[in-house]
Amino acid sequence: MADADPNAGAPFDPSDLAHPEFTPDPSASREEMEALQREIAAVARFEDDHGLLPERIALDSPFEIGSGLPSATQRTLVPEGSGDAGPIVVGIDQAFRGGGGASGTDDGSGESISAAVAIRDGRVIEYAHAVTPLSIPYIPGLLAFREGGPILAALDALSVEPDLLVLDGSGRIHYREAGIATHIGVIHDVPSIGVAKSLLCGDPDEPIDGRPAGWRTPIRADRSMSTVAEDEPVVGYAYQSRQYPNARTINPLYVSPGHRVSPSTAVDLIEALCAGYKLPEPTRLADASADAVTHGSR
């Protein structure tokens, strides 16, 4: 047989479960892209399948940025055990360069700077990034085909194994329940959460304007979405991570499960990762890291 298992007898490794066949191909047709997203959604699991506890990954004070990014303090390789190291949370974000579009919408040219920041026990343990040429423009609903490759490249550059991925954009809050957080989470078979700054689709249970910090309301599937589980219409949450006392109002975040996390746990985990700013710390750091690479300071 030509298909002997090369990993027979090998110890369990999460990457063994990776699904390379789900890698987004920017040259695919729109129909093929949508078909792949339906396959991804069918494999995705929007329920808790992890050992993550909000209090175990909580960050009480924000990382100091402004004066340069905090330095990574990775401890040497420790298989398991020295004390008890907490879960590794990885935040990912992108910045862009070049592109020929006039007003900022692009034709697909230019390059993506994707940055990944790994955090454990309240400290940054590793930074990684990848610079990738872009081939297609941004199309609502097909974001993963533009930025999925760059994100996977950044994750490949990371030496540690993530226990949770926090991605910019949607997870289950997506027309085919396969936003970029779901796509990446399924490929790596790692728990993932999507954090978006605006709503792609779906309806909030309550109006979202002017809510106090800590407030949240479910986002339910609307008719533009194909819901796999008809009995579970909650696809995510609007979550007010920060609010000013009096001044102008801040919009909430839209949190949705990517893979192996339930909607409510996803918000609880993101809430624990927020430390005073609108964006969760892993995302803030990844954002700053991508900018640093883009502007040459790295």
Residues in the site for DNA, rule: CB under 7 A?
A: 93-96, 103-106, 138, 140-144, 168-170, 174, 179-181, 194, 196-201, 224, 245-247, 290-291, 294
Minimum CB–partner distance for residue 70 and DNA (Å): 21
Minimum gap (Å) between residue 233 Cβ and DNA: 19
Question: Largest Cα–Cα distance of the chain, in whole Å?
Answer: 70
Q: How far is the CB of 174 from DNA (least distance, A)?
A: 5
Task: For the CB of residue 141, give the shortest distance to DNA in the complex, in Å.
Answer: 5
Q: Least distance in Å: CB of 107 to DNA?
A: 11
Of the candidates 260, 255, 288, 254, the one whose C-alpha atom is nearest the C-alpha of residue 117 is 288
Instruction: Please tell me whether residue 146 adopts helix, strand or coil conformation.
Output: helix
Instruction: Return the number of the residue (88 or 253) whose C-beta is nearest DNA.
Output: 253
User: Which residue, 138 or 215, is less far from DNA as judged by CB?
Assistant: 138
Dihedral sign, Cα of residue 146, residue 254, residue 189, residue 85: positive
Instruction: Could you list the residues known to form a binding site for Mg(2+), using ranges.
Output: 93, 168
Q: Which residues contact 104 (CB under 8 A, 6 or more apart)?
A: none
DSSP code, position 12 = P
Our CB check for DNA shows the closer of 94 and 132 to be 94
Nearer to DNA, 115 or 164 (CB): 115
In degrees rounded to 5, what are phi and psi of residue 200? -80, -45
What pairing do the DSSP bridges indicate for beta strands 192-196 and 164-168? parallel
Torsion on CA atoms 219, 225, 229, 230, rounded to nearest 10: 90
From the annotation, which residues make up the binding site?
Answer: 93, 168
Considering the complex, state which of residue 120 and residue 147 has its C-beta at the smaller distance from DNA: 147
